[in-house]
Amino acid sequence: MAPFIRGFIPSFIKLLTRYPCPSRRESLCRFSGYAAQQHQQHQHQRGPGAPLPASVDAHGGVTVHHLPADVTEATFSELLRESLCVWSSEGRVAVWLHVPLCRSRLAEAAALQGFTYHHAIRDKAVLSLWMGDGESRLPNYATHQIGVAGMDSTRSLKVCCGIWHQDVSSRSFKCCAVVNQSNGKVLVVQDKNRAKNMWKFPGGLSNPSENIGDTAVREVFEETGVRSEFRSLLSIRQQHHHPGAFGNSDMYLICRLAPVTYNINFCKHECLQCEWMDLAKLAKASDTAPITRRIAKLLLYGLETGFDNIDLSMEELPAIYTGLVYQIHHRTIPERYK
């Protein structure tokens, strides 16, 4: 037995080195009968034609977080094909596939069925497939870094400090409050493919190099058919570990817009309903998110006392880099202070 052990152990270690995996248990399973037994049990539990285990998100998509253990490319390709058929029949619009580095060989099988790389972090790649109507409406991955400056506002103004925090795992989402000042109504929508339908302001993600106001105007028109003009930035919401942002930090910018047209022709792919609603009604509605009610109350205050009390106006200033400008948002100040 001793000679066998002496010959087996080096060979076993060589195999583990050649086929590394983050889990020691998984590495042992790769070369044991336990893996085959577990795989057979899993197949029995899964049943013929059943899809891969996946979670359903609020936007009508599904996410496969864990792939079957010790599955061959051919077997995985068939499992994925069956799963896509089931998800398509259920009306799912997108599939997110998490592929660990140690099983990267399965990415090719997914690519042959239309998947593309969305992003990768450390030892995991995330592939995506759009199955809805028309062009893909899946969001891009994080594109922004966030800079933060802090100032000591004591009377002497002795200290002024700047803090630069680089975070390329952030993204920027614009929410647009189109307010008709003549009747106190605001444009609201209900998103399609949501687990719970709630009234909210139209909005969406910025395109690369797109300014805040341009995003707001574009998103309102794409979702509602209403043309508008950017007036101001109202508020910023920051949330970390956002499920809808792939677990990253999310910056939610709320803008005030003025309508140029009033007829609604909303996008049937993105919205269930769209209407002009009284701000007072929206501020008390139960079928809205807390942030929507808070912004409705802020807009009511602006209507009653003047929007200059709530607006963060925008101005373009020259950047320190030759030929570039930037947009700055702050409360309006008298000309003598500029």
Tokens of 175: 């929410």
pLDDT tens digits in sequence order for the chain, 338 residues long: 445 444 544 444 444 444 444 443 333 333 333 333 443 444 434 444 578 999 998 888 999 999 988 889 999 999 999 999 999 999 999 999 999 999 999 999 999 999 999 999 889 999 999 999 888 988 888 766 666 555 444 443 333 333 333 343 444 566 789 999 999 999 999 988 676 789 999 998 888 888 889 999 999 999 999 999 999 999 988 888 777 777 777 788 999 999 999 999 999 988 999 999 999 999 999 999 899 999 999 999 999 999 999 999 888 888 887 888 888 888 888 888 77
Q: Which CATH superfamily is domain 170-337 in?
A: Nucleoside Triphosphate Pyrophosphohydrolase (3.90.79.10)
Tokens of 276: 């002009």
3-state secondary structure of 196: coil
Tokens of 193: 């493919």
CA distance 135 to 222: 14
Q: Decide the pairing of beta strands 124-130 and 94-100.
A: antiparallel
Task: Report which DSSP code applies to 122.
Answer: T
Could you give the C-alpha distances from 75 to 20, 22, 70, 79, 129, in angstroms and in order?
21, 22, 10, 6, 19
Q: How many residues does the chain have?
A: 338
Q: Class of the 17-130 domain?
A: alpha beta
Let me know: does 51 contact 80? Beta carbons within 8 Å: no
| Closest listed residue to residue 330, CA positions, set 236, 265, 239 | 236
CA distance 61 to 58: 7
Task: Report which DSSP code applies to 240.
Answer: S
Let me know: does 70 contact 35? Beta carbons within 8 Å: yes
Which segments of the chain belong to CATH 3.40.630.30?
17-130
pTM: 0.61
Beta bridge pairs of residue 111: none
Which segments of the chain belong to CATH 3.90.79.10?
170-337
